[in-house]
Amino acid sequence: MIAHLHSEEQLAAEAVSTVRRIAFKDLAEGDQTLIRAALDITRASYSPYSGFAVGAAVKGRSGRVHVGTNFENASYGITMCAEVAAITAANTAGEHTVDTIAVIGHKYTAPESVDQPVTPCGRCRQMIAEIAQSGGTNVRVLSCSGDLSNILETTIGELLPEAFGPASMGMVDQWTRTRPKLAAAVDKLKRR
Ligand SMILES: [Zn+2]
């Protein structure tokens, strides 16, 4: 009897959970396209140390797709994840509201050996939470096994509940309001 250990809030959260396992063929066409983009970009992965290629694809509100792949480092600790690369690419392209992110990983020495969903690491969850809160969306996260046999559909709210972010600091709209000032400052500098 474990149920009594759960608070009413926890039980309510579980009741509305949208976490689900889904087969690739049962996904909407747009999600399949996004996952294929994430898989395709793993060709560019720089992963000599782990031998594990990860790709991420972000779909923004504009409908555009922004991709990224992991970029490892000999010092290991400063290795960049695919999700960081994809979100940074979206931001660089002026895409500030994210609808969905797809993540996929595989061991390229044995391409079909990873049959479990590759979910975002802790740091990446924090980064997704930032763009989710600042963009006002509960970003959907599609975590995929390298062989596409196992896909986990969740939201960032489920992967990182009660996240600390701009909302915690009352700053959700702060950057939206500031962005025109930033652009004006750049324009002024360019005129010098
Ligand atoms: Zn990560």
pLDDT mean for each 10 residues of the chain (192 residues): 50 67 95 98 97 97 97 96 98 96 95 89 98 96 95 97 95 92 97 94
Q: Is 92 part of a structural domain of the chain? A: yes
Q: Is 173 part of a structural domain of the chain? A: no
The catalytic site residues sit at 83
Entry pTM:
0.89
Q: Is 10 part of a structural domain of the chain? A: yes
Q: Is 182 part of a structural domain of the chain? A: no
| 71 Cα to the center of ligand 1, angstroms | 11
| 143 Cα to the center of ligand 1, angstroms | 12
Q: Is 137 part of a structural domain of the chain? A: yes
What's the total number of domains in the chain? 1
93-111: per-residue pLDDT in tens? 999 999 999 999 999 988 7
CATH label of the domain that carries residue 57? 3.40.140.10
* Mean pLDDT over each residue of the chain, to the nearest integer: 92
d(CA 82, CA 146): 14
Q: Is 79 part of a structural domain of the chain? A: yes
| Residues surrounding ion ligand 1 at CB below 5 Å | 81, 121, 124
How far, CA to CA in Å, does 30 sit from each of 33, 154, 178? 5, 16, 33
Domain ranges, residue 95 = 3-163
d(CA 96, CA 129): 13
| 124 Cα to the center of ligand 1, angstroms | 4
Q: Is 175 part of a structural domain of the chain? A: no
| 70 Cα to the center of ligand 1, angstroms | 9
